[in-house]
Structure 1
Amino acid sequence: MSNSTNKQLAKEHSLDIPHISCIEFPLKVKNVDKAFNMVGGKEKIIQSCLDNQIPLELRLTKNLYEHPINAKTNANEHLLIKISIPKREYKENNFNIQKTLQNLHSNGKKNVHITPIAIINKTFRFREMSDFQYQVKNSKFVKQVNESIHDLNFEKIKNLKFEQDTKPWDFDNKQQKLFDLPPPPRFSSIPLPFNYNYKKNALTVVKEGKLVTRNKSIKLHSIIIKYSDPTPQESSKELQSQLETFQSQRENPFYKDILLTLDIIIKLFEEKPIWLRKHLESILPIHLKPLLKFALPQISYTFTKGPWRQSYIKFGIDPRILPNLRNYQTEVFRIPNFRTNIPKGFMTDIPNSTPSVFKFDGQQLPMSLTFQLENLIDTDVVILLSKAIINKECDFYDGWFDKLTMFKLRRLMRYKLKMVVDGLTMNSDKLHHILHNLQLQEGKDNEDDEEDDEDEGNDQNDDDNDEDNDDDEFEDYELDLKNANYDEILKYIGRFNGKGAEKLKELSNVLKQDDIDI
């Protein structure tokens, strides 16, 4: 037998019942008449029900100057029902209607009667915040207005005087420091509550029942040395003390994340002793990236200038005496029309390693123009470095590589980067000239090297937001004799014979000529 035959259908009721309006009163009502008066009385309620343009206002006091709470209307229909239950059951459940219905239902009793009474087609809801109120009981001015204008007392209206205070800010000559002014129409311009999404300060902890702020700001004790300074073997006393604070307050989420960041980069420095900050940031999870600046000084130092500038080097490691660290030397290039474009929260595509977008393969434009030599994977650069002569001592400008190799490397990289940035095809003859025919120019071998950092102690010193650098002194170009003017020819001659160019300039001044016709 089907179970459907045992199911009882709900009783049907006719909805040919009255349509009414409802007021959701925001207070616990004990006196219905008083509640009606607080929203304007029965006549005002009827007017608001019939005309949507007439607002229903809730006034909490009898003050005429009170700023009322305006009601919003909702036209969604609801059903008002009447529930009849036994009084004895209701009393036994401590007059709790919900508990009474649950007990009656669980006991299988049928003595509950439900009848639809009306359909609610308009609901008044007071959801606004109460405005600030201005207390006027001590105001002589308001008292005079109430007794004359509001009471429609013509005699008192004629005698009403408005004494204007021309200096309300001057308290020296006044006994009572009170502005006797009529209240404004409204104090707050925001009637609805706003969620400001306040969050707990990560640097605050609860101590002895009180909220205490520990270390309002964490100082960066970064170790930055000159090229001639000795190698730091360990962190400073300030850094050690700071680390002890992090560890002792590990329950603090902020310090906990710093220690987590430190654990990650310790493993990375075990694999490679020298890193660029951008490369480390790309490996860290997004929520730990901002904390790298607090963790890096605990295990590394950096040079102000030299072959490893803008790099972070593990304590105890001195690349100036270790030729095998030459591939971690840093080169910074400045190319016109190039701007660093590293998206916020960028993550590496190679786990625990330098992202491919920070490497230069000769074809794709990298995100940054600050490289370690190992990041230059272009075939011509790799071959050039493989044939380099390794110096017996580390040089301030060129590191462990000979001057000619680094001179060619910088010239080659600037040319290739410029071609990639401008979207042009590389000239094979030009590349051959740089790799095989280029020679050092006396007095200019080191001018190509050093891109001095303006802020030597700045933790952000490896951001490639550099201004365009004029490298014409080192750029090779062919002179178009048919279209070149005098200044261009003179500049071209000056590359090979500076004194001769000066003599020609003096000669042209004597001849009073603007241009030389080739």
Structure 2
Amino acid sequence: MGESMALDLTREISAPTKASGVLAKEYTLDIPRIPSVELPLRVSGSQESVVRAIEMCGGLTKVKKALNAHKDTHDGLELFLNHEAKRDGPNTFFNEHPIVGRLVPQRDESIVMKASLPRGTLKACGGDIRKALASVPSNRQKVVPVGIINNTIRFREMSDFQVRLDNVPSACEFNESIASRDWDSIQQYVNSIPDQDPRPFENINNLMVNRSSQIPSTDFQLPPPPRLSMVNIPFVYKFRGNPYATKSSSGESTVRGTYLKNYQQLVHSFGENAEIPTTAHPSLQEDYQKAKVTGVYPGSKKDSKFYEKLEKCIAILQEAFTRRPIWVKRHIDGLIPQDLHGTLKIALSLVSYRFTKGPWRNTYIRFGIDPRSSPEYAIFQTEYFKVEGRLQKSPLAAKNIPEPPSKYYRSNKVGGIDSRFYFDGTYVPWYLMLQIDLLLQEPNIAAVVADATYLDKPTELTGWLQELDLTKIRKIVKYELGCLVQGNAIFNEYKLKFFRNMLYTKESMMHNKGKSPDADGDVEMTNSSSTSEGNDGKVPKDQENQEDEDEDNGVEAGELDDAVLEQEEEDEEDEDAEFGDFESEAPQNSDSARLGPDTDSLNPDFDVTTATFKEIIAQISQRDPEAAANLARNLDGFVLESEL
């Protein structure tokens, strides 16, 4: 054997054997357990390189301490990238700070394998270990496990710019006084600074920006910020490439002409000066007129019949907007046949516009209709409710929260909103962005709306409704929705009566001095020992927090989160087929993609931990028949993660 190497392999390495049916040799894993540190550095195998890397982490003692720390602690291993400056002399960076590495929260063990091959084999295969193993007969190679990595420190924080100011007088004075933590030096430094010190700014107005000459460092008297980046971990932008873009062999990126822009009209202001669109965007009108003349919508393929389907979709939308001037996109989906969904966004842009803020945000409004012009549009205002994460994690809540409808569902009301979007206090609706008129089947809310007094002018926060009336509606929905999610359909009538008759929007306005009545109107009889020490009549702080949580009942109210809305838009983009040939991606007769009025997408009683392989495949086939077929063909079964 000419050369050997140690490899950290998390996946199986298999070399082809000459004889079929020969089993691989078995090895015991009674081998040393080894901790590891994954450094964001290029460390060679030389002793000097390894020693230098350990010194940058503060020495071997600190490395051992970090590896032995508990995984739940905040202690980590500090890596100083500017260790070289500290070692060579007294020069230090003004804003010196390390990158912190931490133990992997969940153990992910990996095996260190030692592979021995004839000398020169790895080099001949370009450093590819798999190719090298495959090129050598089994009797001339040896792969042996030598250790198991069972503890790992990883660095995931970003490094930051650090500025060196050794030649800057003001920075040197700061380091010699405040940074030294010597009180006499600090006092002397503070006393030496005049009230109006022009020195830090004296050369800023006289600087000549000349790229051909270097400006002396003494001209910069202002210290840099301690950190130039405000976060340790990089922000996840969730960048996704344009699905219509392709790259050539030369690296140039081009976008296929099948992408069609919808030119949706948006109103970004809620003020009186905001103009309401009466027609579609000029560019969209131009494309639509060309399609009328040629019979082919610009950018689409003739055989896709995009224009013909667009006309059908527009006819459906025009009829819908005649009956109801303001719609939520999720409600419209149930009116459009599956084969026309590829044209829906452009069809909506031809008949409606959108507000980006205010009580009608996230709705599609018929051209020429201004919901700010009359209180009759108050019933189309939207309210968004969200079940808190702590409640969603409950197994009981998971059974009571319905699966969202498929993109290609069909409404059980011809030309109207599916009944499962309404909230009447007996079940959790499909979608928690609810317009006011979808709440009127609940008697308590209907009573509040019937007695509501509308404002003279709508506001961006509450629309036509007064804040108190809107608070009553939110309280009732949050209470009943929270009960239903937890499997309780019997409501407290005293609480509902209290919500209907509220006099103030905030509970703090109801509290009398020295008293703390229950926010829900229930008087709790307690002795003096239940209050805080001192018997001052005040409610303990932890009890106040508990009351607030009980009052919300695990449900939040407010505007639709931008992150949620963006995710919905992204999902729609992914599901929309390419305009040129969208028929192939959305088969018209696909039963799995469409939900009828009396069918459900998944069985609520299905338990993956006890289901058989065939039952799991059957559940998958309701969402993705092709994927289910591939799994059934290529797999013999599933193994639970806990049993691996």
Question: Which is higher, the Rg of structure 1 or of structure 2?
Answer: 1
Q: TM-score, normalised on structure 2?
A: 0.37
Q: TM-score, normalised on structure 1?
A: 0.46
